[in-house]
Structure 1
Amino acid sequence: MPNVFLISDHHFGHASIIDFESRPFTNVDEMTETMIEKWNSVVRKEDKVYHLGDFSFLNKDKTASIVSKLNGYKILIMGNHDRGRTRRWWLEAGFDEVSEHPIVYGGFFFLSHEPMYMNKHMPYVNIHGHIHGQKYEGNQYINVCVEHWDYTPISFEAIKALVVPNEEQ
């Protein structure tokens, strides 16, 4: 049975992100190779991955080369750095689906690039990226930026376990 994973903000090809976010890489090539290895260490070919934006700063050919090396059926929810390119560009780069807007998943989870406004009375959870090493308080926000998950996609089952205690699942 396929698993579902989430991740965001790889920033492939963005050398400055290494310093901005204190990433443990000496250069973009090491960062790229390590992040591809970590993705493929958990994601199988039959799995589905929601990438919540800011995937690559590279040209289409280099981006397509990276996408082709990543396991799974890949869905991109465009982030602020992705929106300078069209949905078609990202599809041609190898994503299986591309959304310019947040997606409601499982009737309960909002998948978005930027965190969405959620008050404490809303029964929803926002799974998001964008804020890198920062984290919002409370269990209504799950930040899936690579910095929080050792550059490895996190399974939807692991996210559900963070939100809903075992006895309630």
Structure 2
Amino acid sequence: MPDVFFTSDHHFGHKLIIDFESRPFANVQEMDEALIANWNAAVGPEDTVFHLGDFSFLGLEATSAIISRLNGYKILILGNHDRGRGRSWWLEAGFDEVSEYPLVYKDFFFLSHEPMYMNKHMPYVNVHGHIHGQKYEGNNHFNICVEHSGYKPLSFAAIRDAVVVSEEG
């Protein structure tokens, strides 16, 4: 049965992110190839992946080449570094669906690029990217940036189980 995965902030082709976030790669080519290999090791061809923004700093042809190598049905929620290109650019690059706005998944998980304000009375967990190595305290946020997930997508089950455990704890 197909699975659902979440990830964000790959920054394909962005050399400076290696230093900015202390990523364990010698250069951008090594980073890009490792991110592709890690994605495909986790995600099968029939799975769905929600990418929560900041996918690629490369041009259309190079971005399309990367997307075509990645397993799964790919849904992009535009991040701050993606929005300048618009929905149609990302669809042409190869994403199956593109949203300019946050989405609600399974009536409980609020998917966005930037972390959203969530008070203790809101019935959601905000699964987000954008803040890379940082992390919000509390049960209402789950940072899905690659720096927190071993540079690979995380399954919905892993996120759900982590949220349930932290709420019970």
TM superposition score normalised by structure 1: 0.97
Matches within 5 A, 1:1-169: 1-165=1-165
8 A contact 1:46–1:72 mirrored in 2 = yes
Per-residue Cα deviation, 1:1-54 (whole angstroms, up to 9, x for no partner)? 110000000000000000000000011100000000000001000000000000
Off by >4 Å, runs of 4+ in structure 1: none
Per-residue Cα deviation, 1:97-152 (whole angstroms, up to 9, x for no partner)? 00000001100110000000001121210000000000000121000000001101
Inter-partner Cα distance in structure 2 for 1:63 and 1:123: 36
Secondary structure at the counterpart of residue 98 of structure 2 = strand
Secondary structure at the counterpart of residue 6 of structure 1 = strand
Q: Name the % identity.
A: 71
Per-residue Cα deviation, 1:47-88 (whole angstroms, up to 9, x for no partner)? 000000000000000000000000000000000000010101
Deviation of 1:165 after TM superposition, in Å, equals 3.6
| Unaligned ranges ≥5, structure 2 | none
User: Partner amino acid for 1:75?
Assistant: I
Inter-partner Cα distance in structure 1 for 2:115 and 2:78: 13
Inter-partner Cα distance in structure 2 for 1:86 and 1:79: 10
8 A contact 1:139–1:162 mirrored in 2 = no
Inter-partner Cα distance in structure 1 for 2:105 and 2:123: 14
RMSD: 1.1
TM superposition score normalised by structure 2: 0.97
| Unaligned ranges ≥5, structure 1 | none
